[in-house]
Amino acid sequence: MTEANPPQRLSAKRRSLLKASVAAAVTAATGTAAKAAPPLFKMYVMIPNNQPARMVWGTLAAAQMARIGIDVVSSFVPFTVISPRRSRGDGKPHQEGGWDCYLERYYYSSIQPVPNTLFHSKLMPPSGQNYYYVNDPVIDASLDAISGTLDATARMNAYRDFEKRWYDTEPMNILFYPQDVIAVNPKLSGFESTTFNPVFFPRPENWKIEGAGDNATAAFASWAPPSSLIPMYSIGYHESNIFGPVYNQLYEYDSWDSKKLVPALATGHTVSEDGKHWVLTLRQGVKWHSGEEFTAEDVKFTWDMIMNKAYGSQLQGALEQMMGSPSAYKVSGKYEITIDLPAYSLLFLNWLVGSMAIMPKHAYQGIRPEGLRGHVASTWNGSYAVTTSDGKSFTAKGGVGTGPWIPQGFDPARRAYRYLRNEAYWKPHTGNVKEFFVVNIQGTDSVLSALKAGEIDAHDPMYDIGSLVSTIEPGWGKVLTFDSYKWQHICYNLRHPVFGTGVDTPLGKRDPSRAAEAAAYIRKAISHAMPRDQIVKEIAGGYGEPGTVPMPFSAPEYDHDMLKPIAYDLDKARHYMELAGYTY
């Protein structure tokens, strides 16, 4: 984390890019129009409407595609429109109810990069998160090696293989690696991390608000409303921002700066030399919000839920690939669970143990799979009774967790999720916050106005305030920057017959054995049509780095020697289109 040094003034060009017309934005970033190109094929581009800067660079990206001959139909939509289109699992194009292309800010679910969960061909929707239908044997082989080797050198080589294949074929175009820029109440201390679903979220148990005494109230702004607050259904950090403070993982990261996994609900583990036999020892004396004791039965219950296809978790495929079946794990003591993996997997510790929140068996086992998404545990609308093993009743107003904050429900008038501090939490609270709110606020200007008015104390990085840093006065806002460990990219439906499989390209029709090659040429063409430097400098306010592959730019796994910047070159872009068989 660093405190930002704002520029002297917001440049006129940057202000025009953020607030002027699309035509002005395109001209400012890419220069005057080049020679016209005929429409070669149609592409529907969905631009999420929850990040102002992304709406600008998304519109710019669509305009750049048009400059190399693509007939682009773009629209601003909420992610709730995109998500069901991409999650159906049938791979249909946009006009048939699926999707062609959309823009996304994404990341892996653990700090240790685990690209398997997003890009392995065995993990396509609806039970997996490979929404893009990446189906490349070379990529699969590298992903299997990343997750399956115990040797650190061999794993690093596998990361390099993955990066090289991606760099050569660009299944998606990685535009840039953003910095997360967050403004906070200058009286707030203890705010030391950005958000990163599902492992980093607001941690008000560590916050201190100067002058507020021992009973401070704090509020955090998060843009988009959630679709579900059950952890295994989470599709983004707009959801983990809300459920994160309620639950715990078996292991957790001790800080954003160190990014080190440390015991949480587990106190430690042993593992065999071949990496397949694990024994997790669990923390004793931990209580659920209801007062029920946490045990190994809750861990098994959580994994059983995810593995059970009836619940419809998008994590099911990855867990099944790793575990094989529920018979791979068993309760071997009240505070112990034993796992025998079919083969060693990097995902076990870094993704499952270190990222997945544990859910309460006593509170959720009576909820039918088809009713879980609409239950109060997921919506926080209303209340329900939870019966503990000693016959007592607890009134839950949202999720039931072991975490530092107890849900008090959703206030629709304020659009806020309310929490009270869990005084029985198994770790000490180091801050002075007793009551906490997560408030849904739409709009960058609105969130900064709320901060200035003292209505919130911090906000999610999705508000993309980088270009407005110079407008924030130190009396009401302190600006912090974080390495986001994320990337912004253009996603493609890789089952699309043109830029996915290539079967409908001129080259693919002429020689079906080269169809995939033709599709890769199109994606490379679009990549070279993207002015990455201008997007970072003029639209992201300089907070970021040009992108190449889906790997955090500052991660040790990122090969800076191999991954050279992708040039903005419209002539080269048109050349790649010609290689795919198109003519100008």
Q: Please tell me whether the peptide bond between 326 and the residue prior to it is cis, using omega within 30 degrees of 0.
A: no
Q: Which pLDDT score is estimated for 50?
A: 80
Q: 160 in a domain, yes or no?
A: no
Boundary (domain end) residue, out of 476, 506, 532: 476
Q: Which pLDDT score is estimated for 325?
A: 97
Query: Whole-angstrom Cα distance, residue 420 to residue 428?
Result: 15
Q: What is the pLDDT of residues 164-183, one digit of tens each?
A: 999 999 999 999 999 999 99
Q: 523 in a domain, yes or no?
A: yes
The pLDDT mean for the chain works out to 93
The proportion of the chain whose per-residue pLDDT surpasses 90, expressed as a percent, equals: 91
pLDDT at residue 6 above 60?
A: no
pLDDT at residue 298 above 60?
A: yes
Matching residue, tokens 């009576």: 366
Q: Please tell me whether the peptide bond between 263 and the residue prior to it is cis, using omega within 30 degrees of 0.
A: no
Q: How confident is the model at residue 15 (pLDDT cuts 50, 70, 90)?
A: very low
In the chain, % helix, strand, coil (3-state, to 5) comes to 35, 20, 45
- Residue pair 222/460 in contact (Cβ under 8 Å)? The answer is yes
Same structural domain for residues 85 and 43? yes
- Residue pair 305/346 in contact (Cβ under 8 Å)? The answer is no
- Residue pair 192/206 in contact (Cβ under 8 Å)? The answer is yes
pTM: 0.91
Mean pLDDT within 360-378:
98
Q: What is the pLDDT of residues 387-441, one digit of tens each?
A: 999 999 999 999 999 999 999 999 999 999 999 999 999 999 999 999 999 999 9
Q: Which pLDDT score is estimated for 13?
A: 42
Residue range of the domain that includes 217: 186-235+403-476
Q: Kindly list the distances between the CA atom of residue 435 and the CA atoms of 16, 216, 218, 499, in Å, as whole numbers in the listed order.
A: 40, 7, 7, 50
CB-side neighbour CA atoms (13 Å) of 479? 21
Same structural domain for residues 257 and 340? yes
Phi/psi at 399 (5° precision): -70, 155
Domain count for the chain: 3
Same structural domain for residues 231 and 339? no
Same structural domain for residues 423 and 511? no
Q: Is the dihedral of CA 181, 183, 188, 194 positive or negative?
A: negative
Q: 69 in a domain, yes or no?
A: yes
Position 480, amino acid: L
Query: Whole-angstrom Cα distance, residue 431 to residue 428?
Result: 9
pLDDT at residue 318 above 80?
A: yes
Residue 504 sits in a domain of what CATH number? Answer: 3.40.190
Same structural domain for residues 205 and 288? no
The first and second tokens of residue 421, run together, are 């501090």
- Residue of 575, 487, 584, 573 whose CA lies nearest to 526: 573
| Burial (CB count <10 Å: 0-12, 13-18, 19+), residue 559 | middle
Residues forming beta bridges with residue 279, ordered by sequence position: 270, 338
Beta-strand pair 261-263/266-271: unpaired
Residue 218 sits in a domain of what CATH number? Answer: 3.40.190.10
Query: Whole-angstrom Cα distance, residue 29 to residue 14?
Result: 10
Helix axes 515-528, 570-579, angle to 10 degrees: 170
Query: Whole-angstrom Cα distance, residue 370 to residue 114?
Result: 30
Q: Which pLDDT score is estimated for 51?
A: 80
Q: 140 in a domain, yes or no?
A: no
Q: What is the pLDDT of residues 468-501, one digit of tens each?
A: 999 999 999 999 999 999 999 999 999 999 999 9
- Residue of 501, 492, 489, 504 whose CA lies nearest to 41: 504
Same structural domain for residues 299 and 346? yes
Q: 493 in a domain, yes or no?
A: yes
Task: Please count the other Cβ atoms lying within 10 Å of the Cβ belonging to residue 503.
Answer: 15
> 374's torsion region: left (phi>0), alpha (psi -120 to 50) or beta?
alpha
- Residue pair 180/105 in contact (Cβ under 8 Å)? The answer is no
- Residue of 266, 263, 119, 253 whose CA lies nearest to 195: 253
Mean pLDDT within 575-579:
97
Mean pLDDT within 77-88:
92
Mean pLDDT within 230-257:
96
pLDDT at residue 5 above 90?
A: no
Q: 333 in a domain, yes or no?
A: yes
Residues forming beta bridges with residue 282, ordered by sequence position: 266
- Residue of 413, 210, 388, 414 whose CA lies nearest to 298: 388
